[in-house]
Structure 1
Amino acid sequence: MVFGWTWAHIRENVDLPQLEAMNRYWKRFPPVHVLVAAFVGYQGGKPSSEPGSAEELLAMLPLKNAPPQPDKPD
């Protein structure tokens, strides 16, 4: 978020006319991080279309006494 607002703050305090006004402003005057990314050619990573499986999420956690996970074939 450009302003550092939370989704809850936006939902409670920004209406559609305000959002449209901000979008027009940003189109004319993009935020600095957008300008810098365009200048250096940063395209961003491709977002995953699906969330990770439960096994993948559990594998990220440092669980003590967790049962070993079977190796997945390549």
Structure 2
Amino acid sequence: MRPHARLSFHLLSRTRDPAPLTVDLVLDEAVMRRIVGGPKMMSAQLRHLAELPHNVRVQVLPAVRTRAVARAREQGAI
């Protein structure tokens, strides 16, 4: 995520507004499996995702779907 996108996401997700915007965060399964910085770093990153406020919905796109989407793009279906 680019720095300005990170800042915008942080501001949207941490608002005290009683009716905050809803943020949908969709991650590719490969992102969840890619080891970055070792076990402690990975644990901290997953904990951060789990502790996001209620207006942020985190979804993981299964790898099977990701490959299907890539195949459809190659075939010009999308």
Which has the bigger relative contact order, CA under 8 A and spacing at least 6? Answer: 2
TM-score, length basis structure 1 = 0.26
TM-score, length basis structure 2 = 0.26
- Name the structure with the higher strand share: 2
Computing the radius of gyration over CA atoms, which structure comes out larger, 1 or 2?
1
